[in-house]
Chain A
């Protein structure tokens, strides 16, 4: 994985995690699976990098965690969104969409625009 892609991933991981928890509490492994599936494996991240991001979000109070039992009856730590986390998600989604639209618009340009007159 080249460096540019890694940096890009780090920046977007937080919002992906928040998004993964929109439908209810999930443990770390389920979050990894969700991101992988939804992105068609586009983010081929090392799964370990997810956890520091999770813990940081937890310590910032965007996520809360409880210990529960997984589908296979194993003890697992389940994360859920706090109200602050939900708010943060809404805001970040908006930012991302605006950002993506702007990047897409620039990349879709076909010719150099006329220079604007200088008043």
Chain B
């Protein structure tokens, strides 16, 4: 065999052509055969015929040949593709290993951006996208009136109303509820060593059936137990593990709760977290049945939760509720209470009730991490462009050797894919760590945090954003390289090339957009920070510093109200006397409810001798307190405090807050006036400051305080004010309480500050995250600025050399570089400010007492960015001014 002549190589210039190959091969066979036969003496015609006869069915063979050839060709192309791909990957790893600093920085940037994104996605997914952790959770509805200023009492219903609503509604499979006025540590577990506090929720017997929660062990409540005929309790899983050492035989055992023997009928599954859904940040240990008969005369006590019939919409349920409402009594014993809930039975999706308030914040958070990803992508794009410029020669050579543009772009995309893949892997680890940390954060009162996890959806999201980032930062440099004139690069001696200049323009544009995004993030963070500061400045109406509280156990049971009141007064007086005498304690007092916790209202007092239109009088929130409480809590008071001399035998007295005073006696002094509670007169002896009872950011409503010597309190929280850090007093206070009452459980000694912190924790959570993202964005933008300026100094080395040779001073050169930096930065700030101003309206709803165009936030942003810009421009500037003119010129 001789090698084919050179022109044969081009025979297939237009790509492989298997059909022609087959034809040619067979034609050769016939020609050779004919030749041979002719050599044996046949005529040309006869030889040809004989050759064809001996060959057989030429057409058939040809067809088979083409089929096989096509198939082979296809297979080869696929194999080539994979071979190329493997080669690209190998090549990528080789190049990245050659430049470990670049690889490390890129992967770090990507890991931070992707990690933050995946973590936030998990939060958003858990809180917004995923259904609540109940079967058919979309059927669950929260039924409540529109929000009013009288707190929980106006968001709940009476036992009679619950039963009638349940019986008359047609929209629900079943309706349930729980007692909404539970305070932490409301149970005392005894008979197992020291008395231990526990938090229990009273639920209507069918509560778990309606939610669809099956016990992990044992069973749910029986109808008898639900009625309260036999005391029974269900344990939350963590409580069972912690308090009972995961006792596998707990079901059927009796435990002593508040001095009563109660049978444990079951343990709930770990997946059920009452606090996470209904009371963010709270831990609930056990559940006992709510006896509707006992509670019948207590007014509004239960929340309503319904499970809609399949296919029934919330709008239909609302219609149904409006139909039922006029037939419902507040209390069936009082006919005049018929129809009191008109317009106050509004079903909303349980999911919306739990997380609806957070929706805007979460979306904002999502956008913020999205912006981080964008900045990271732009940054990487920038780094790759710089590298691409440095590698222009390499690509030119590869192009000259026959690598197609598509191949080069593919190679660059492969590099970015490998980088973002590695970034995603590290980012995922980061996200796992973040999620694990967040799950532990009891101090953030956010719902569902405990069910956070990285699931399949989050993994999918990771892959998606990693791919997306790779595209945005890989494609641009690839396309720019591929569109460049390769020959120009090869001819060009190095610096000052046209391609370099063009690259620089693109990179400058990228940096400007990066700075702009960082600006928007910084402004948002600044606004949230200002809002948070404003929240901290809010006059709470009480002084949380150096005050702490503990739940008190006492027994005031007595045959008559008078005896009970007297017994209680004696116990309280004893406790306050003893605790008040402890060293460091400045004041002590008790209240049944503390601010920013549960609350309730009783009735509608009216100022004596005045007439008001119906609905004009407020329903004040009610607090039953001891003498000294107002002082211990740091609530400002005008008039006199309650004394132990205010008893059932003396005149009935109350204190009201300023809001109530303004409503009852506008423009007049309320002290000394009479408030009528039905037919009973109460003298107002003091007016206290408005206390933020429900939340810190909202307005305050009317509040009324009764003395514990004249009204029965619902439990007691001891509050002490101290001259030393209150935490240090915990043990001595508990010891004093134990001496008076050995059954006093070791309840938590909570600084009042933590109650406030708990209330503002969602805002703190979002502010911290957005601030962290803004910091990250600023860092990335700084890297971007540094990269571009540094590169332009390198490129301009000869030019700077000439200028310095011609007499430009070092200071002059530095100034030039810094001016360049500032030009980019100012363009970015300008653009970012415009975007931030435009977005102002959208962010306004997340702010508190802060204008979305708050000047200090904007100024802070400008200062921060200018500072880091100057800092990141300074290093290249110094390098520029240190250029030795002779060397720079010689090297060119």
Contact = CB atoms under 8 A, between A and B. Distances in A.
A48 B28 contact: no
A28 B29 contact: yes
B55 to A, nearest CB: 5
Interface string A70-83: 10101111100000
Given A51-B61, A70-B32, A75 B8 contact: yes
Most buried by A among B8, B68, B69: B68
Contacts of B57: 46, 48
A67 interface: yes
B65 A51 contact: yes
B72 A59 contact: yes
Contacts of A46: 54-57
A7 B134 CA distance: 69
B56 A75 contact: no
Contact of A76 (B25, B55, B58): B25
Contacts of B69: 55
B834 interface: no
A72 B31 CA distance: 10
Nearest to A32: B29
How large, as a class, is the contact surface on chain B? 20 to 34
B876 to A, nearest CB: 57
A47 interface: yes
B26 interface: yes
B229 interface: no
A27 interface: yes
Contact of A68 (B1, B31, B35): B1
B55 A29 contact: no
A51 B4 contact: no
A91 to B, nearest CB: 23
A74 B28 contact: yes
A67 B8 contact: yes
Contacts of A76: 25, 28, 32
Interface in A31-57: 32, 46-49, 51-52, 55-56
A59 B72 CA distance: 6
Nearest to B66: A55
Given A55-B65, A58-B72, A77-B25, A47 B33 contact: yes
Contacts of B1: 24-25, 66, 68-69, 78
A101 to B, nearest CB: 33
Contacts of A77: 21, 24-25, 28
A56 B21 CA distance: 15
B3 interface: yes
Contacts of A66: 1
A75 B54 CA distance: 22
A75 B24 contact: yes
Contact of A74 (B8, B32, B58, B71): B32
A32 B61 CA distance: 15
Contacts, number: 81
Interface in B1-30: 1-5, 8, 21, 24-26, 28-29
B4 A47 contact: no
Nearest to B73: A59
What DSSP secondary structure best describes chain A's contact surface?
A: mixed
Contacts of A68: 1-4
B613 interface: no
A72 B72 CA distance: 29
A114 B75 CA distance: 56
Interface residues of A, number: 27
Contacts of A70: 28, 32
A74 B28 CA distance: 7
Contacts of B8: 67, 75
B21 A48 contact: no
Interface string B54-98: 111110110011001101100100000000000000000000000
Contacts of B65: 51-52, 55
Interface in A17-32: 24-25, 27-29, 32
A34 B32 CA distance: 14
A69 B2 CA distance: 6
A1 to B, nearest CB: 11
A26 B21 CA distance: 16
A83 B61 CA distance: 27
Interface in B435-461: none
Contacts of B32: 27, 29, 70, 72, 74, 76
Contacts of B33: 29, 47
Contacts of A74: 28, 31-32
Nearest to B11: A67
A9 to B, nearest CB: 13
Nearest to B2: A69
Nearest to A72: B35
A75 B4 CA distance: 8
B657 to A, nearest CB: 92
B58 A48 contact: yes
Contacts of B64: 51-52, 55
Contacts of A58: 72
Contact of A52 (B3, B61, B71): B61
A55 B21 contact: no
Contacts of B55: 46-48
A29 B823 CA distance: 77
Contacts of A78: 1
B731 to A, nearest CB: 84
Most buried by B among A46, A48, A56, A59: A48
A49 B68 contact: no
A59 B28 CA distance: 21
B25 A51 contact: yes
Contacts of B26: 51
Contacts of B24: 75, 77
Most buried by A among B29, B31, B54: B29
Contacts of B4: 67-69, 75
A38 to B, nearest CB: 17
Interface in A77-95: 77-78
Contacts of A72: 32, 35
Contacts of B3: 68-69
A103 to B, nearest CB: 29
Given A69-B2, A78-B1, A52 B29 contact: no
Contacts of A27: 28, 32
Nearest to A73: B2
B71 to A, nearest CB: 7
A48 B25 contact: no
A68 B8 CA distance: 9
A48 B72 CA distance: 20
A91 B219 CA distance: 72
Contacts of A52: 61, 64-65, 68
Contacts of B61: 48-49, 51-52
B717 to A, nearest CB: 85
Contacts of A56: 68
A28 B25 contact: yes
Most buried by B among A52, A55, A70, A72: A55
A91 B743 CA distance: 92
Nearest to A25: B1
Interface string B492-530: 000000000000000000000000000000000000000
A24 B1 CA distance: 9
A88 to B, nearest CB: 18
Given A29-B28, A72-B32, 5 more contacts: A48-B61, A55-B64, A59-B72, A59-B75, A77-B24
Q: Which 8 A-B pairs have the closest CB atoms?
A: A46-B56, A48-B56, A68-B1, A59-B72, A29-B32, A48-B61, A55-B68, A48-B55
Interface of A: 24-25, 27-29, 32, 46-49, 51-52, 55-56, 58-59, 66-70, 72, 74-78
26 contacts: A27-B32, A28-B25, A28-B28, A29-B29, A29-B33, A46-B55, A47-B54, A47-B55, A47-B56, A48-B61, A51-B29, A51-B65, A55-B64, A55-B68, A59-B71, A59-B72, A67-B8, A68-B1, A68-B2, A68-B4, A69-B2, A75-B8, A77-B21, A77-B24, A77-B25, A78-B1
